[in-house]
């Protein structure tokens, strides 16, 4: 690719060399509006989106408390990551989240298909499921920290149906906190997933359905052989989106829900990136954690990018 | 024939009944927060003490008032409104301009493609893991604790999606219309304002709704970049309510704070429903 690029460039460059000034000036005049229109976005993105990548690489190799000038420590921060019990616990918890991925993929898919098949109350249910995606995850976390309190409605409800013995401080017990967090995170994303698959189903060709009906296919056969295959690309997109969010978007929910506790029992990797920097004032280490996650997620992001680019061409 | 179809449809719905019941229950739990927040925010602490699910005996606006004034959420709500509306306006303007330039201002096709790909690339790479460097960049520019800094970071977070979405939209605008205007002597800003913007209004509405929702709900960047408690945004203020206002951290006042912070997203949902839903799907699709 590089070589074709060069060979295309060369004649143009020679041509420009012959009558450099007029040609380049003409081109500049022609492109001036485009450059001016692009400038604000490019400036903002260069400073706040591209420069941080460079900074991340550099500061991950330093020790910096946020006040004193950073000191260069080489790869110490990365070495520390591998022996830091909190980091390992955070990785384990993020891993648990990844293990729930099939639920994230198939539950919203099933709901979208049921709504599409004309389930009773389908639209009302879909509308209700959308409510959590309007709220900030931080607000959802706060809500559940209230609802799961010892004197909150969940325990009260358990008492009312004779299961009062199960009532507990859900978010403070080491063995209930992760299940509670995993459920709440999934609960909050059902609506978005359903919307997403719903958009995929909207492009489903009715003729395929009619053809299936004429062939005498049962509902289940039709769903299995027509609907689900149609949703496969959507499922791939959705699972990449969800996977990336596991590593990068759990912070606001956990910040208000558990702050990562009890102990570090519900600390995920992106919450720990925040805590390392803004609670332990260990900015260099936080940058190293962030850079590691970024490298990991970049692989997923590139796959996602290729899929989008391919979708755009079609 | 039609009755046969109807019978079959009913049979199918009957078979879906177990799933329907289960999902209806889930739907009750997702709709519950709003109802619960409304009811709890309007009852007294002692009334809440009778049982959080009990039907309230009296209604009070004291909690809302406490949250708004004593806990200072009123000021933070104003802060949020200012920061979010400026950020949204700048995002929409800056992204549309860049997208217009990439598609319709005579750049070579490969430059346009490169620009769109760069936007996509920035969109796909998450910046929540880059908080330390973003904090440092803002610090180095002397923009920590300033709304200008927060607005610029917000614009940098939302404009990659904006550019990507607007380029796909502008590509569908026939080149001939813009070329005709150019031949008639319309300058680039003129073509942008009187041709491109009117045509792109639905896309701009979608971008506005999605950006407003995302930024209003942001916790992370506002938390790290604005450290002066008076200047915080509402989501941060409400999130810190439990720890920072130990005295007033009763469940009812907290819930009042929660209710206040959910009102703007609800308003957005009610008045820009279509744009918002389209934006959410596109945002996840990227």
pLDDT tens-digit map of A38-90: 999 999 999 999 999 999 999 999 999 988 889 999 999 999 999 999 999 99
In the block, residue with structure tokens 């009187």 = B194
The alpha-carbon gap from B204 to the nearest alpha carbon of chain A, in Å, equals 16
pLDDT tens track for B171-219: 888 888 888 998 898 899 999 999 999 999 999 999 999 999 999 999 9
Rounded to an integer, the average pLDDT of B247-252 is 64
Q: How far off is chain B from A312, nearest CA to CA, in Å?
A: 8
pLDDT at B98 over 50: yes
What is the number of other CB atoms lying within 10 angstroms of the CB of residue B36?
A: 20
A215 three-class SS: coil
Domain ranges of chain B: 84-232+262-285
According to CATH, where is 1.10.3720.10 located in chain A?
A: 84-313
Mean pLDDT rounded to a whole number for chain A: 87
B12/A49 Cβ within 8 A: no
Cα dihedral B11/B15/B20/B23 (nearest 10): -150
Using CB atoms, which residue from A52, A160, A305 is nearest to B124? A305
A229 pLDDT higher than 70: yes
Q: Which helix (H) or strand (E) holds B266?
A: helix B251-271
The pLDDT score that the predictor gives to residue A112 is 94
Identify whether the C-beta of residue B164 lies closer than 8 Å to the C-beta of residue B120: yes
Of B133, B213, B241, the CB nearest to A59: B133
User: Rounded to whole angstroms, how far apart are CA atoms B92 and B107?
Assistant: 21
Q: Tell me: pLDDT of A8 over 80.
A: no
For residue range A10-34, what is the model confidence (pLDDT) as tens digits? 444 444 444 455 666 777 778 889 9
pLDDT of the residue at B101: 95
Measured between CA atoms, how close is A109 to chain B, in angstroms? 13
| B36-58 average pLDDT score | 84
Over range A197-222, report the average pLDDT.
Answer: 82
pLDDT score at B283: 66
Mean pLDDT of A237-261: 93
d(CA A277, CA B131): 9
Encode A165-190 in three state secondary structure. HHCCCCCCCHHHHHHHHHHHHHHHHH
In angstroms, the CA B116 to CA B126 distance is 17
Judge whether A285 is closer than 8 Å to chain B, CB to CB: no
Distance CA A132, CA B30 (A): 6
- Which residues in chain A (44-73) have CB-CB distances under 8 A to chain B? 44-45, 47-56, 59
Q: Which helix (H) or strand (E) element contains residue A72?
A: strand A71-72
Report how far residue A124's alpha carbon sits from residue A79's, in angstroms, rounded to the nearest whole number.
52
Give DSSP secondary structure letters for A112-145: HHHHHTT-TTHHHHHHHHHHHHHS-HHHHHHHHH
CB atoms within 10 A of CB A129: 27
Other CB atoms within 10 Å distance of the CB of residue A125: 25
Residue A269 has pLDDT above 80, yes or no: yes
Superfamily of domain A84-313: MetI-like (1.10.3720.10)
Mean pLDDT of the region A210-220: 79
ipTM above 0.85, yes or no: yes
Q: Using the beta-carbon criterion (under 8 Å), do B187 and A248 form an inter-chain contact?
A: no
**Which of B9, B23, B267 to mutate against chain A (most A CBs within 10 Å)?**
B23
Query: Mean pLDDT over all residues of chain B?
Result: 88
Q: What is the pLDDT of residue B17?
A: 87
Of the candidates A254, A243, A257, A259, the residue with the CA atom closest to the CA atom of residue A303: A243
Range from A111-120, A259-268, B15-24, B89-98 that averages highest in pLDDT? B89-98
User: Is any Cβ of chain A less than 8 angstroms from the Cβ of B128?
Assistant: yes
Element (H, E) at B102: helix B73-104
Q: Are B167 and B103 in contact (CB under 8 A)?
A: yes
Residue B285 clears pLDDT 70, i.e. is over it: no
Supply the CATH classification number for the domain B84-232+262-285.
1.10.3720.10
Give the pLDDT of residue B254: 87
Residue B138 and residue B151: Cα distance in Å, rounded? Answer: 11
Question: Touching check for B96 and chain A: CB below 8 Å?
Answer: no
Residue B47 has pLDDT above 80, yes or no: yes
**Mean of the pLDDT values across residues B251-258?**
88
Confidence label for A213 from pLDDT (cuts 50, 70 and 90): confident
- Kindly report, residue by residue over A135-172, the tens digit of the pLDDT: 999 999 999 998 898 888 899 889 888 888 888 889 99
Q: What's the confidence (pLDDT) of residue B8?
A: 63
Q: Which residues contact B210 (CB under 8 A, 6 or more apart)?
A: B161, B275, B276, B279, B280, B282, B283
C-alpha A170/C-alpha A145 separation (Å) is 9
């Amino acid at each position: 690719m590089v070589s074709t690029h060069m060979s295309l460039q060369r004649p143009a460059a020679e041509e420009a060399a012959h009558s450099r000034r007029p040609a380049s000036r003409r081109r500049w005049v022609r492109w001036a509006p485009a450059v001016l229109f692009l400038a604000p976005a490019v400036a903002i993105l260069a400073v706040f989106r591209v420069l941080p990548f460079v900074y991340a690489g550099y500061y991950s190799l330093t020790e910096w408390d946020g006040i004193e000038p950073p000191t260069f420590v080489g790869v110490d921060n990365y070495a520390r990551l591998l022996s830091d019990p909190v980091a390992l616990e955070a990785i384990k918890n993020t891993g648990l989240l990844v293990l729930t991925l099939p639920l994230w993929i198939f539950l919203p898919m099933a709901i979208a298909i049921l709504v599409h098949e004309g389930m009773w109350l389908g639209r009302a249910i879909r509308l209700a499921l959308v409510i959590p995606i309007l709220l900030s995850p931080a607000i959802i976390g706060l809500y559940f920290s209230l609802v799961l309190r010892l004197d909150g409605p969940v325990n009260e409800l358990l008492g009312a149906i004779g299961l009062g013995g199960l009532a507990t401080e859900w978010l403070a017990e080491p063995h209930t906190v992760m299940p509670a967090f995993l459920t709440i995170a999934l609960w909050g994303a059902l609506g978005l997933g359903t919307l997403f698959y719903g958009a995929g189903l909207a492009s489903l060709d009715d003729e395929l359905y009619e053809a299936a009906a004429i062939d005498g296919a049962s509902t289940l056969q039709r769903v299995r052989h027509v609907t689900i295959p149609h949703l496969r690309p959507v499922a791939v997109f959705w699972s990449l989106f969800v996977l990336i969010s596991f590593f990068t978007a759990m912070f606001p929910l956990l910040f208000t829900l558990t702050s990562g506790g009890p102990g570090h029992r519900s600390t995920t990797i992106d919450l720990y990136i925040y805590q390392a920097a803004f609670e332990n004032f260990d900015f260099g280490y936080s940058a190293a954690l962030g850079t590691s996650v970024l490298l990991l997620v970049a692989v997923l992001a590139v796959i996602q990018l290729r899929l989008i680019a391919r979708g755009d061409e079609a | 024939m039609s009755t046969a179809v109807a019978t079959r449809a009913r049979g199918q719905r009957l078979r879906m009944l177990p799933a329907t019941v289960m999902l209806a229950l889930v739907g009750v739990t997702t709709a519950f927060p709003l109802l619960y927040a409304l009811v709890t925010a309007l009852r007294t602490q002692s009334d809440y003490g009778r049982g959080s699910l009990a039907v309230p005996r009296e209604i009070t606006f004291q909690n809302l008032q406490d949250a708004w004034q004593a806990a200072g959420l009123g000021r933070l709500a104003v802060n949020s409104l200012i920061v979010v509306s400026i950020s949204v306006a700048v995002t929409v303007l800056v992204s549309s301009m860049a997208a217009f330039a990439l598609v319709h201002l005579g750049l070579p096709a490969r430059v346009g493609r490169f620009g769109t790909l760069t936007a996509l690339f920035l969109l796909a790479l998450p910046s929540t893991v880059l908080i330390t460097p973003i904090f440092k960049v803002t610090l180095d520019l002397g923009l920590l604790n300033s709304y200008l800094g927060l607005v610029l970071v917000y614009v940098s977070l939302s404009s990659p999606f904006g550019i990507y979405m607007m380029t796909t939209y502008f590509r569908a605008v026939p080149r001939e219309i813009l070329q005709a205007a150019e031949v008639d002597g319309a300058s680039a800003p003129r073509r942008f304002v009187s041709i491109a913007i009117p045509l792109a209004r639905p896309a701009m509405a979608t971008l506005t709704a999605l950006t407003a929702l995302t930024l209003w709900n942001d916790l992370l960047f506002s938390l790290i970049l604005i450290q002066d408690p008076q200047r915080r945004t509402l989501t941060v203020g409400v999130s810190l309510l439990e720890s920072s206002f130990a005295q007033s951290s009763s469940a009812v006042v907290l819930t009042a704070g929660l209710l206040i912070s959910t009102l703007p997203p609800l308003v957005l949902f009610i008045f820009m429903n279509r744009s918002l839903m389209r934006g959410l799907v596109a945002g996840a699709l990227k």
